[in-house]
């Protein structure tokens, strides 16, 4: 992994189109500004992981939607 | 009109119009390699559909219209997503949320944190990640089953 030291207000560029600037630091929190083309997906890592995991769980829902619907209308089930 | 045969684990073989195929340029997180999906509504009367991967019979998500179950659900579609989906008008959009059903049917939850947004005219969709929102990946569809959690 490439490790670079940066001060507040300094930036790094990745390729031609991505720039990451250190906006602020406070305690152990660093605020970053990121400029990138719109087709580049940028996510907080833990959030992206959580969504992946939620999707993987959801993909194991093998229930037929009709059963789910019946559950919501117990009178007609 | 070109027809395609899609094999699905959930509904058996399904015939669809080629133009009904939805393109997800980034796939869906966790399944990035699958970029073509189709919505299958087994029954007009029920509020659930399948978002079925065209190229993987085993992969289908149960999806629903969030506004049916969560009347106050709202979010701002981030600008980057608007541009990716080439949104010109709100009425082009179809919003769905993915439902997870575990062992307990009554404990079914909906992912309001990452809705699936589709430009219905362009047939392009993506799972949008909301920033700065109080929604989570698990909201109970049936409030009674939520216990003390959010309904």
pLDDT, one tens digit per residue, over B24-39 is 999 999 999 999 999 9
CB contact under 8 A, A54 and B137: yes
Q: Do residues B38 and B22 touch, judged by C-beta distance below 8 A?
A: yes
The residue of A17, A48, A61 whose CB has the most chain B CBs within 10 angstroms, and thus the best one to mutate to test that interface, is A61
3-class secondary structure per residue, chain B:
CCEEEEEECCCEEEEEEHHHCEECCCCECCECCCCEEEEECCCCCCCEEEEEECCCCCCEEEEECHHHHCCCCCCCCCHHHHHHCCCCCHHHEEEEEEEECCCCHHHCEECCCCCEEEECCCCEEEECCCCCCCCCCCEECCHHHHCCCCC
A48/B105 CB distance under 8 A: no
Over residues B57-77, the pLDDT tens digits come to: 989 999 999 999 999 999 999
Q: Bigger pLDDT: B24 or B143? A: B24
Mean confidence (pLDDT) of chain B = 89
Among B75, B79, B63, smallest CA distance to B134 is for: B75
Q: CA-to-CA distance for B61 and B124, rounded, in angstroms?
A: 17
CB distance B100–A57 less than 8 Å? Answer: yes
Which residues of chain A lie closer than 8 angstroms to B111, CB-CB? 51, 54-55, 58
Complex ipTM value: 0.88
Q: Would you call B46 and A65 a contact, using CB atoms and an 8 Å cutoff?
A: yes
């Amino acid at each position: 992994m490439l490790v670079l030291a940066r001060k507040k207000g300094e930036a790094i560029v990745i390729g031609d189109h991505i720039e990451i600037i250190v906006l602020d630091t406070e305690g152990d929190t660093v605020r970053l500004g990121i400029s990138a083309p719109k087709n580049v997906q940028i996510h907080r890592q833990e959030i992206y992981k959580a969504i992946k995991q939620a999707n993987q769980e959801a993909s194991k829902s093998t229930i037929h939607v009709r059963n789910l619907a019946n559950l919501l209308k117990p009178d007609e089930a | 009109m070109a027809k395609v045969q899609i094999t699905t684990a959930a509904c058996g073989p399904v015939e669809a119009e080629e133009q009904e195929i939805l393109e997800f340029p980034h796939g869906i997180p966790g399944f990035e390699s699958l970029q073509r999906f189709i919505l299958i509504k087994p029954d007009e009367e029920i509020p659930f559909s399948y978002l079925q991967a065209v190229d993987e019979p085993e992969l289908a998500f149960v999806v629903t219209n969030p506004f049916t179950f969560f009347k106050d659900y709202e979010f701002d579609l981030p600008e980057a997503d608007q541009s990716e989906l080439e949104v010109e008008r709100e009425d082009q959009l179809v919003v769905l949320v993915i439902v997870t059903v575990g062992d307990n049917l009554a404990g079914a939850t909906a992912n309001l944190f990452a809705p699936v947004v589709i430009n219905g005219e362009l047939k392009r969709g993506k799972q949008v990640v909301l920033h700065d929102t109080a929604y989570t990946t698990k909201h109970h569809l049936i409030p009674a089953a939520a216990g003390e959690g959010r309904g």
